Amino acid sequence: MVALGLFALALANEEEARQWAEEYNAEAQVVWYDNVVASWNYNTNLTDYNQDESLKYSAIKAAFDRESGLTASSYDYENFEDQLLARQFRKIADIGEAVLSEEDFNRQSELRAEMQRIYSTAEACNKPGDDDPDKCYPLDPDLEQIMATSTDWDELKWAWESWRDVSGRLMPDMYEEYAGLLNKAADMNGYDDNGDYWRSWYEMETFAEECERIWQQLRPLYEQLHAYVLRKLKEVHADHIDEFPFTGHIPAHLLGNMWSQSWGNIEEFVRPAPEKPGLDVTEEMIRQGYTPLKMFELSEEFFTSLGLIPMTEKFWDDTMMVKPDDRDVVCHASAWDFYNQEDFRIKQCTEVSMSWLITTHHEMGHVEYFLQYKDLPVQYRDGGNPGFHEAIGDVLALSVSTPEHLEEIGLLPDFEDDPDGDLNFLMNQALAKIAFIPFGYLIDQWRWNVFSGETQKEDYNTDWWEMRCRYQGVAPPVGRLATDFDAGAKYHVPANTPYIRYFISHILQFQFHKAMCDAAGNTNPLHRCDVYRSEEAGTAIGDLMKLGSSVHWEEALEAMTGTTEMSAEPLVEYFGPLLEWLEEQNAGETIGWSNECPEGTIVP
């Protein structure tokens, strides 16, 4: 009888918990909405008033999360019969930085806001050769345009170096204090450090080892691409051949991107069949009078062609599609869920180009995810793991960037489908996907070392470049000071956005793509599959998105792909023809680079 009495008590406790969870969810939607609105207002208008309001509502949310976490912890949720409810309580009880005292929480919020303000308002001035000595250049679009289009070694070096001097260089003291507060919160929550906390989101004891396993699978493909690109860049910059390091590294300012993370802007120099047109349809978009609005409308039509949910009226009313002329904003593209089940937006400074067309599809993929799981409890309104959200954004872009799709929507009228054109397409994709993989891996490798204490402030820049040189095979074009903070010149570091999710997404998106192509009955090679207008493919991805984070991501992955494991095999299959071609082109050439940076990279 005693056992039956305890069982009845446990059930009563569980029913009470279920009722509390419903009340919590209703209140959380209000508190979280207010916090996101304040953050949106600040990110789209960088004023002191908006920063103060954002900090105020962030503190209110933290207090709410702290109180809710304590209440959730008072329930014996680990013994609930309803495992879905138990999982929800587990997430509510994990309150992250909200565990900090009010003083510490406010301080970490101030530090992050100030680093983001530095990043978003920084401008490089005193460009050699300028007629106007007072002319200055913001990152977006000016410095990024120089990096994307210039072939002048010295102009590229100026833009590359100047950006780091006016952004990251100002942050190391703030970042040291900020990382300390993150570690303090992690320790209070029972984790070894903040890196341990971030890795816990993947619900895998061996997550770090799994990442290394996948990187080793993909390293040979990256090495082949790197060797070929290095050789071609030496031809382009033959006048500066003596300035290429003997260690096999590529000077970081030559790859068409401020961070060397995506190499698509140098495609014309490495195109396998240079006599054939490339697949950048920017000029055709401009010729046809494309606008940012048209790009957003085209993106939505792709999603609805799969039977997925159209964007909401508020989305079209309140999304920031272009950079305003009258105020400073955070231009970094992002998608926003306001947690009230009806307000979803994108913030980006869109230009008319193919790369922005892809970005628009990516960000709208996030919004589609929001729409699919909007009716779940707030704690489940997230990706299966952090890499899922980024993979969903990218997987649709794999179809959008195919010649088949570009031809279908009238942006590639003269494409010739032959082996040379196929290699050109794959090279273009590799410059975006394969080139990114080590960069996506190394940023959090560096941050995990900072959080664990292995990397101290005096070694921030030295260890940052050690990672860049070892994993990416790139080196700074000028000596950098050990006291610099070049990691802070990448948005996600001052914004405290974990980055390993992008590495994971580059694996998952190809698994998702293969599953969608199979559902669509695709008969083309994987890299030429376009799932446009396939409701079967839409159902496959839609069913995964509806789950949010309500189940372990392995369960969601298995339901869609048939396996619980992250696998690089679909990615390798996708790029198989290009890898074979690269190996032929690189026969007899040196493959790889020294793990150590070139001498003089870091100046004491």
Cα(333)–Cα(330) distance, integer angstroms = 8
Name the pairing type of β-strands 123-125 and 334-337: unpaired
Measured CA to CA, the distance from residue 516 to residue 531 in angstroms comes to 7
C-alpha of 529 from chain center? 24
Output b/e per residue, 318-328; b: 16+ Cβ within 10 A.
bbbbebeeeee
- Residue 370, CA atoms < 13 Å, CB-side half-sphere: 23
**Based on the number of CB atoms within 10 Å of its own CB, is 179 exposed (0-12), middle (13-18) or buried (19 or more)?**
buried
59, 89, 119: which is the final residue of a domain? Answer: 89
Separation CA 158–CA 154 (nearest Å): 6
**Residue 467: both structure tokens together:** 């990672």
SS3 content of the chain, % helix, strand, coil (to 5): 65, 5, 35
Residue 53 CB burial class (10 angstroms; 0-12, 13-18, ≥19): middle
Task: Kindly state the average pLDDT of the residues 13-21.
Answer: 93
Q: What is the pLDDT of residues 317-351, one digit of tens each?
A: 999 999 999 999 999 899 999 999 999 999 999 99
| Alpha carbon distance 432, 445 (integer Å) | 21
Q: pTM value? A: 0.92
Residue 12: per-residue pLDDT: 56
Nearest by Cα to 321 from 285, 346, 338: 346
Q: Which tens digit of pLDDT belongs to each residue from 570-581?
A: 999 999 999 999
Is 574 annotated to bind a ligand? Reply is no
- Joined tokens for residue 357: 């067309």
Within 245-312, where are the H helices? 267-270, 282-287, 292-305
24 is in an annotated binding site: no
Question: Which residue type occupies 572?
Answer: V
Q: Which two tokens stand for residue 534?
A: 């396939």
Which of 457, 562, 564 lies closest to 519, judged by CA? 562
Look up residue 486 and give its amino acid.
D
Q: For residues 59 and 109, is the Cβ–Cβ distance under 8 A? A: yes
Dist CA 499 CA 445 (whole Å): 9
> Which residue is associated with the tokens 């010739």?
416
What's the CA dihedral at 555, 219, 237, 130 to 10 degrees? 40
Residues marked active site are found at: 363, 492
Average pLDDT over residues 557-567: 95
pLDDT of residue 144: 95
In a domain, 583, yes or no: no
Residue 13: the pLDDT is 86
Query: CA 116 to CA 175: how far, in whole Å?
Result: 11
What counts of helices (H) and strands (E) characterise the chain?
24, 8
Task: Note whether 494 and 115 are within 8 A (CB).
Answer: yes
Distance CA 561, CA 54 (A): 41
Is residue 102 within 8 Å of residue 59, measured between CB atoms? Answer: yes
Question: Residue 446 in contact with residue 168, Cβ under 8 Å?
Answer: no
Domain boundary among 89, 110, 131: 89
pLDDT digits (tens, 9 = 90+) for 137-161: 999 889 999 999 999 999 999 999 9
Say if residue 8's pLDDT is above 80: no
What pLDDT score does 9 carry? 41
Residue 100 lies in a domain: no
Within 10 angstroms of residue 225's Cβ, the number of other Cβ atoms is 24
Q: How far is CA 6 from CA 11, 13, 19, in A?
A: 9, 10, 20
- Asked if residue 311 is part of any domain, the answer here is yes
Q: Please check whether residue 553 lies inside any domain of the structure.
A: yes
What pLDDT was estimated at residue 133? Answer: 80
Q: What is the pLDDT of residues 98-128, one digit of tens each?
A: 999 999 999 999 999 999 999 999 999 999 9
At 320 the three-state DSSP class reads strand
Q: Residue 291 phi/psi, 5° resolution? A: -125, 165
- Among residues 560, 559, 563, 517, the alpha carbon closest in space to that of 537 is found at 517
| pLDDT exceeds cutoff 50 at 273 | yes
Give tens-digit pLDDT for 445-469: 999 999 999 999 999 999 999 999 9
β-bridge mates for residue 250, sequence order? 474
36 within domain boundaries: yes
Assess whether the previous peptide bond of 141 is cis (omega < 30° from 0): yes
Distance, in Å, from the CA atom of 495 to the CA atom of 117, rounded to the nearest integer, reads 10
- Per-residue pLDDT tens for 504-552? 999 999 999 999 999 999 999 999 999 999 999 999 999 999 999 999 9
Query: How many structural domains are present in the chain?
Result: 2
In a domain, 148, yes or no: no
With vertex at residue 116, the alpha carbon angle to CA 113 and CA 602, rounded to the nearest 5 degrees, is 125
362 is in an annotated binding site: yes
Q: Average pLDDT, stretch 185-212? A: 95
501 marked among binding-site residues:
yes
Can you tell me whether residue 187 is helix, strand or coil? helix
Given a cut of 60, whether residue 435 has pLDDT beyond it is: yes
Residue 364: inside a domain, yes or no?
yes
Give the structural domain span for 331: 282-413+500-566
> pLDDT grade, residue 23 (50/70/90)?
very high
| Residue whose C-alpha is closest to residue 58's, from 12, 116, 102 | 102
DSSP letter for 123, please: E
Positive or negative: CA dihedral 30, 32, 37, 41: positive
For the stretch 212-244, pLDDT in tens is: 999 999 999 999 999 999 999 999 999 999 999
CA atoms within a 13 Å half-sphere pointing along the CA-CB vector of 560: 31
Residue 366, annotated ligand binder? yes
Q: How far is C-alpha 108 from the geometric centre of its chain's CA atoms? A: 22
Specify the DSSP class assigned to residue 472: I
Q: Which amino acid is at 542?
A: G
Contact 146, 152 (CB under 8 A): no
- Quickly state the pLDDT bin for 2 (edges 50, 70, 90): very low
**242 lies in a domain?**
no
Query: Would you give the distance in Å from CA 483 to the centre of its chain?
Result: 27
Determine the Cα–Cα distance for residues 205 and 210; give it in Å rounded to an integer: 10
Q: Which two tokens stand for residue 23?
A: 């009340």
Which of 89, 107, 126 is where one domain is finished?
Answer: 89
Q: What is the rounded average pLDDT for all residues in the chain?
A: 94
